[in-house]
Structure 1
């Protein structure tokens, strides 16, 4: 096997940041925010669409002309009349995307796009996540959005379909959040939100230009969040700080520094419930959760530099370098007797991770044979160095405490990718967008815990793939675009999925293959003035070697590759002005996600060998067939505003054999607010109620949980009130 790319992420990160500082001397124009094809717009006036570009495809092409499904959520909607903590709150109106707030802050938001990522039991996998260009998805494909600071966000972009593969490994879809710039008049703002279940969020935001010439500006946001939790044993606290500093060095050059910190100590984990427990009392925690005091602590700090340089009227370059550190300590509910196996890794997971990387790209915008041509060539390198420790979760008869060391290993994952993208106007009506990316992912594990029957489990493996994609856009007229696209993608096993071997031995399961997919999409986009946007997309994806459960034993799940799965369906959305200051949003998704070849799997625990068969045609667990959103918003920049919305999620199977399912549900929410705007200040207050009819429902599911605790209940009726005051100099 080839060796990993490197073993010193810290040195890499430091050198990249240093290099970026030294190269500061000349910039590109900043990339423009997009309304997108299925926009989620902060005010009715914004529906008056302009021709703007999106960053999602890296090509500065008008969003309306891109052969892909792209949606944008504004910063106002991310942090307006909402709690402003969970990304799931702001993504509900995007078709094809399911974002579920687990009501369990020891686990991250559960996000899937067109069925990709639906099987994730914690964190986000199968999707690419970015914060100001810095990956929140690591080279192995595992990601999280807990550190996304919504209070300083300008927008979030969501890319779906074949062009997602241009982001490399685990690109079933792409979600990017961008921090706002601090240019303009100085501003200081404070906000306080409080609601049901002891929930509170307080924050302060500052932005300003530093020098009289306004060549240097910054924005900074600090946020603190506390909750007692809807369920027992689910209290949480989070602190987040995010800042961006821009230096317009010259007309041709710009340097941006982004810094982000996140802390979530001793967050309680109520665990999932069985169906009987959910029916009896959705707010309860399992006995095991309190018995072992299941909890998680996470700390993360990261920083990055982005250097833009316009070389000429047709050429520009962008270089990004970043470095970060993340620590996680998690106490699991694994019985002490189970940990008696000398090869067991223990019931306490202690992870210390350093990560860093760079992305450099060159852009050309000019003419080819009299036709407009845009070309992007780039190089991407990322690396993660993770020290994994495991301990018993008991000392003598005392449970839920750190005990003896049971696992000690160093894992290094790196990727080296090259990509090329182009957009060319073939005729006045047809535009071709195409690209290819070559990716290589290397994994190395070095075992440091070699005791008795626990042998040396070191090893390494690598994965590589070339993922081409192409799309054609037809300009029917000024208001209508038709398009078709096709591409290939791949998805490697994450370290979490490879952490345990089916044979019960310690060390990584390095025999797993990467999944490969073929993706196709056709769609239409309609833009009518004033104020109507509509999108329809039909998609089809075939995947081979997808991962599925192989065994469940000792509190651990192991995985295997299966032959073939299929995800196909349709998305539709409309945003329109019904009258002055009255906006309607509709979104609907049909998803047919099924297994195409039968395979053997494990059901129950302990299960060390296959004891059940997943039949052809079984639905992929965690992926609902139907979902929809409807929202009615009234209001403008000032005065009274109101909202009424409904969300529907179809029933969803919770395991591969489709023997149990979470029921469908419809949730109704409503809000009322008032905005006072003056020359130097703006005051906004709101009151919102969710789940108005107090429905018991399963907010998210833990797919294939070996103990049958599949269900994570959502909260009953809840009320939220908030006030925000901004002062402008």
Structure 2
């Protein structure tokens, strides 16, 4: 299968007939394939998309450690994926870390088009095994025109698609430092009208720090079938059973003395090891998507899903047992016509989610539940309607006008409580946020085939999540208000040397009001409050291209004996780099009698850089060195404490080969943090007692093999 064929299939585009080629190795210079994005509901080339969109392909993911997505995602400028503990992810887009001390908030996430962010606003990103991800699109900044409320951005995860006309089974195993043991099994088959892909992944890790072991079992099933000449039905099942220990934050002195230790105890509070702090969940998600093409111009896509989860979390003082159910759906009607002799694309639709959770908190007695502290029932309903128009104007201009109408309501009923006064023994409250319009206007101009420039203005609305309103110590913050923001953006994309070298540059200014910030109490409880405003301005740049390139062509016999375009594999040396400059500062912000206006935004850094090389040659050997840099991070709103910046280096190399057109072989090994740099990733912000630091692993190696058989 050719790299071009795989690329088109991953994007869901039809394969076009290829000119005849001989089954021999040939070398010639070729252009990079042009990316197509699904963001904002239109399948348009990236150069025709008037927004900052980061695209992560499977090829980039495969250049890094297969046990985590962190390094691959961080190659996107303006995007940071961090691990506070093993598999405890925190995703930040343009400074949204401020209100995400743990988990993923203020970033809307979709999985194969299914709303993956819960109705309450949180996203369990740790459910996704890296092997399940074939593609990621990140829409930066407010994207309320199509995806509803939010000021951080949108992440669209997609699983790999099955190549039509093939069947394949594969198995892989990886071992590495700190007790890494990982295995995957994949089975897939595809035809012109249907496909099935099933994948299982198991991962264990003893962990770099004390109290940081992990075990995860995940299963994904993707089915797609053409039910009629006009209709397609897809089903996606995801089930994950995950548990990992929580080592806790360290003070600067503890971090410098021994970064591998867990948070120790004090005279009044037991430590993480003694309390056996951990997180465990079992979650299932089932989604169905139906696409119906009334005509070539009119299409309807409808998605429905259901989810269920059971979560147990043991922290220093409390032991939580939460169960939750979620239901939701999304529909979008798309129409293409002509107005004044020029193309007009219209779309409109709606999305709705309902969630119910029962949250019970007990006293934590060394990792087991003790006396019941409180029992809450939480209901959340959220939804929005959206419209968008894309109009091709003269002079190669593209105008986009869109808006969404968003609503959110939650209710919290305390069934019982043993908390001391003044906490009430029971209550039943509800709150509805005022409906908000989130418009977006963008204009793009193509200046020839090698350059496009755009500008956009968008408004965002981000209400607090239920975890922010109801904290783990049993308190409620009914005064917490929704964030509102306005984003201004200018960008340019282009290429040189017949599309062999690409670049992208974005300038943005996000002005937030009622910004939500967090702090941590002496019991490790994270609480939230609104500030006056923040100014989040920055620059993002990306560059990639071939220094030297060949295309290898080999012939393959398929099971149906139909002659198809032979697979092609690009080889050579490719270089890439991404950089982000962030000038994120508080506006009006008074705290504790101090004026913090002008201070850097807590949890953010002014500079990030990611770069690397991707070398491969026609015999199957490949090597991908990489580096990452992050400048110092401010840890308090007052900017009195910082985490030092760092540089990290790593590499992955190996040998992959296909024998007899059927047996796929991939042997690989890699090294992360090659210089054994000591640094903290996923810092705790405004932490009580100065426990800011969550040490990242030291030097770590891994090695593995993957074998696949094509039928």
TM-score (norm 2): 0.89
Q: Does 1:524 pair with 2:492?
A: yes
Q: What displacement does 1:115 show?
A: 0.5
Instruction: Give 1:387's aligned residue.
Output: 358
Partners of 1:663 and 1:33 lie apart in 2 by: 44
Equivalent in 289, 303, 311 of residue 294 of structure 2: 311
Match of 2:160 among 155, 175, 180: 180
Do 1:221 and 1:243's aligned partners in 2 also have CA atoms closer than 8 Å?
yes
CA distance in 1 between partners of 2:475 and 2:334 (Å): 43
User: Which of the numbers 266, 281, 284 marks the counterpart of 2:258?
Assistant: 281
Specify every segment of 5 or more residues in structure 1 that has no aligned partner in the other structure, as ranges.
1-28, 35-43, 335-346, 601-610
**Cα gap change, 1:716 to 1:542, in 2 (>3 Å):** same
Q: Which residue is equivalent to 2:516?
A: 547
Q: Determine whether 1:685 maps to 2:656.
A: no
* Aligned twin of 2:308: 325
Match of 2:379 among 412, 430, 442: 412
- Does the aligned pair in 2 maintain the 1:621–1:656 contact within 8 Å? yes
**2:242 and 2:77 mapped to 1: Cα distance?**
31
Q: CA deviation at 1:400?
A: 3.3
Q: Evaluate the alpha carbon distance shift between residue 96 and residue 204 of structure 1 in structure 2; reply closer, same or farther with a 3 A threshold.
A: same
Contact 1:140–1:441 (CA under 8 A) maintained in structure 2 = no
Q: Is the 8 A contact 1:86 1:109 kept in 2?
A: no
Map 1:537-616 onto structure 2 (within 5 A).
Answer: 537-549=506-518, 552=521, 554-580=523-549, 581-600=572-591, 611=592, 613=594, 615-616=596-597
Contact 2:143–2:154 (Cα < 8 Å) also in 1: no
1:64 maps to which residue?
47
Query: Of 477, 484, 507, which aligns to 1:509?
Result: 477
Shift of 1:50: 4.4
Selected match of 1:290 from 252, 273, 276 = 273
The structural deviation recorded for 1:594 is 0.7
Does residue 1:466 correspond to 2:440, yes or no? Answer: no
- Equivalent of 2:390, from 400, 403, 423? 423
The residue aligned with 2:686 is: 704
**TM-score, structure 1 as length reference:** 0.86
2:427 corresponds to which of 443, 457, 460: 457
| In structure 1, distance between residues paired with 2:214 and 2:430 | 37
Which of the numbers 302, 309, 314 marks the counterpart of 2:285? 302
Structure 1 pair 646–50 and aligned structure 2 pair: CA distance change class (3 A): closer
- Aligned partner of 1:247 in structure 2 is 225
Per-residue deviation, 1:200: 1.4
When residues 563 and 530 of structure 1 are mapped into structure 2, their CA distance, relative to the original with a 3 A threshold, is closer
Question: What secondary structure is seen at the aligned counterpart in 2 of 1:497?
Answer: helix
Which stretches in structure 2 are left out of the alignment for 5+ residues?
A: 1-7, 14-26, 265-270, 550-571
Distance of 1:45 and 1:374 partners within structure 2: 38
The question of 1:721 aligning with 2:691 is answered: no
Residue 659 (structure 1) shift: 1.5
1:264 to 1:326, Cα distance in 2 relative to 1, 3 A: same
Cα 1:549/1:72, change in 2 over 3 Å: closer
The verdict on how the C-alpha distance between 1:633 and 1:296 changes in structure 2, with shifts beyond 3 A counting, is: same
For residues 542-568 of structure 1, the C-alpha deviation after alignment (integer angstroms, 9 at most, x for no partner) is 101111347846543432221111100
Provide Cα deviations, 1:299-352, integer angstroms capped at 9, x if missing partner: 110100000000012100000000001111111112xxxxxxxxxxxx111111
Return the alpha-carbon distance in structure 1 between the equivalents of residues 389 and 30 of structure 2: 29
| Alignment size in residue pairs | 656
Distance 1:83 1:701 in 2: 22
Task: Please point out which of 126, 129, 142 is paired with 1:146.
Answer: 126
* Local SS of the residue matching 1:67: coil
Deviation for aligned residue 1:686: 1.1
Shift of 1:356: 1.4
Give yes or no for the alignment of 1:486 onto 2:465.
Answer: no
Aligned-residue offset at 1:45: 10
CA RMSD of aligned residues (A): 2.2
- In structure 1, the partner of 2:210 is 232
Quick check: 1:659 aligned with 2:640?
A: yes
1: distance between equivalents of 2:524 and 2:678?
A: 29
Distance change in 2, residues 1:120/1:46 (3 Å): farther
2:184 aligned to which of 190, 196, 203: 203
- Once residues 374 and 63 of structure 1 are traced to their aligned partners in structure 2, the CA distance between those partners, rounded to angstroms, is 17
- Asked if structure 2 preserves the Cα contact closer than 8 Å seen for 1:111 and 1:124, the reply is yes
CA distance in 1, matches of 2:335, 2:618: 39
Contact 2:606 2:631 in 1 (8 A): yes
Q: Aligned-pair distance for 1:214?
A: 4.5
Q: Distance in 1 between matches of 2:150 and 2:9?
A: 27
Match in the other structure for 2:268? none
Shift of 1:221: 0.7
Give the distance between the partners of 1:526 and 1:554, measured in 2 at CA: 51
Distance 1:458 1:674 in 2: 61
Paired residues of 1:68 and 1:163 also in contact (CA < 8 A): no
CA distance 1:674–1:711, shift in 2 (3 Å): same
- Alignment partner of 1:700: what SS? coil
CA drift of 1:589 comes to 0.2
| Residue 500 to residue 644, structure 1, CA distance change in 2 (3 Å) | closer
Aligned counterpart for 2:502 among listed residues 490, 509, 533 = 533
Equivalent position of 2:174 in the other structure? 193
